[in-house]
Structures are given as structure tokens and as C-alpha cells.
Amino acid sequence: MTRIQRRVQVLLALAALGAAGMFLGGEVGLGIDFGPVGATVLYAALGVFVFHLARYAGQVFPEEWAPAEKQAWVALVFVALVSFNMINLLAALPDLGAAADELRNSATRPLWTNLGILMVGWIVIAGILRKQDAGGVERDERDLRIAHQAARIADGVMMLFIICLVVALVALPEQSRTWLRPLIAANVLIALLIARTLVENIYTVLRYRRERG
């Protein structure tokens, strides 16, 4: 492992700590709210990562990783962060009562900000990687086969999630369904789509890892 890759690992560990603070946060003691502190650490670590990616082309990821594998890892990290945001939102919505039916409420406002930052970060990193790998083959038959298998597995898992959701909704007694408001149901469906993408990316990176032996 190169010096740059070790540095990137430290950055990713910092980003994971920041993400944990951001999503689990709240006031723990000393009057510090770990939510905003975690968010600052996460976004600062991502910023430094982007700098490393741009500055040390080809040294950030291991040489034996295919371009599609690098993209899958980046997608996995960002989709995981989006998933945490979605879980936070779904956990907060039932307590909002009627306000949960408004598109902009106290739970969705930070979500849109975070999603905006994450999407910009994802586009920038994916763009830098695409530029660095330009000139060679970006995706060959092995990459397409892995992508196809990952999509099939993810579709199967999503179908399972939908069946579980339907069974849970049918089985829940009427008085336990008071939290189920239209926008919450819409967010649950979006969460299912995000979960599908997460499963797809997890399968993809595991498959590449297995084929490298």
C-alpha cells in the first residue's frame, strides 16, 4: 500500500467518524452538538479526498482495481451516506404529526441540504475518475456481466422488500397505522429504491473482490 493510499484510508476513517457523529449526533455533553461537528468532519474529509484524487491521479485507488470497480466503490460510499440520511428522515417523520405531510418541514430541510452536497460530491469524484481513466476501455464484457448480475440480485432483493412491506402493512392493526401518512409512504418507497441501489453496489464491489482472488 502506498503512502497516498494510507493517507486516503485515514481520510475515509475520519469521514466514517464524521458520518457517525452526523447521523447519530445530538448533544452528548459539554454543550457540543455532535451533529453539525460530524457533518463538518465528513464534508472536510470528502473535500480533502477530492483534492487527493485530483492531485495524485492513479495513486489513490489500488492499481489492480478496474475503472468500473472504482466507480462502484464511490457509488457505494455515497449511496450509503444517502441511506443514512433517509433512515434519519424516516425515523423523524412519524413524530411530526400533520407536518409530515408538508414537503418542507423540520426533518426534510437538513435532508435536502445533505443530499445536495452529497450529489455534487459524487458527480465531482465520478467525473475526476472518468477523466483519469479516459483513453482506455472503461467497461468491458466482465464489467457488464458483473453489472447485470448485480442488477438482477438487487431487483430480487427489492421485490422481497416490497413483499415484506405489503405483508407488514396488511398485518398491522388499524390503530398502529396512524403514522402512515401519504408523504411517509412516498418516502418509504424512495427508501426502497435507495436500498436496491445499495444492494447493487455492495454485490458489485464484493464480486470484483472475489474475482481478484
Partner 1 sequence: MSEFAVRNRIREFRQLRAEMTQADLARACDVTRQTIIALEAEKYSPSLELAFKLAHALERRLEEVFRFEEKN
Residues that bind partner 1 (CB under 8 A): 64-69, 136-137, 140-143, 210-213
Shortest gap between Cβ of 76 and partner 1 (angstroms)? Answer: 18
Smallest distance, partner 1 to C-beta of residue 213, A: 5
Please say which residue, 104 or 210, places its beta carbon nearer to partner 1: 210
Neighbours of 52 (CB within 10 A): 17
Residue 59 sits at φ, ψ, to 5 deg, of -110, -10
* Minimum CB distance to partner 1, residue 146 (Å): 10
CB of 158 to partner 1, least distance (A): 27
Closest to partner 1 by CB, 109 or 152 = 152
- Closer to partner 1 by Cβ: residue 23 or 203: 203
For residue 140, the minimal CB distance to partner 1 (Å) is 4
User: Which of 55, 142 has the CB closer to partner 1?
Assistant: 142
Give me the least distance between CB of 69 and partner 1, in Å please.
7
> DSSP per residue over the chain, as a string?
--HHHHHHHHHHHHHHHHHHHHHH-SEEETTEEHHHHHHHHHHHHHHHHHHHHHHSTTTSS-TTS-HHHHHHHHHHHHHHHHHHHHHHHHHHGGGGGGGGGSSSSTTHHHHHHHHHHHHHHHHHHHHHHHHHTTTS-SS-HHHHHHHHHHHHHHHHHHHHHHHHHHHHHHHS-GGGGTT--HHHHHHHHHHHHHHHHHHHHHHHHHHHHHHH-
Compare residues 137 and 206 and give the one whose CB is closer to partner 1.
137
Q: Which is nearer to partner 1, 66 or 81 (CB)?
A: 66
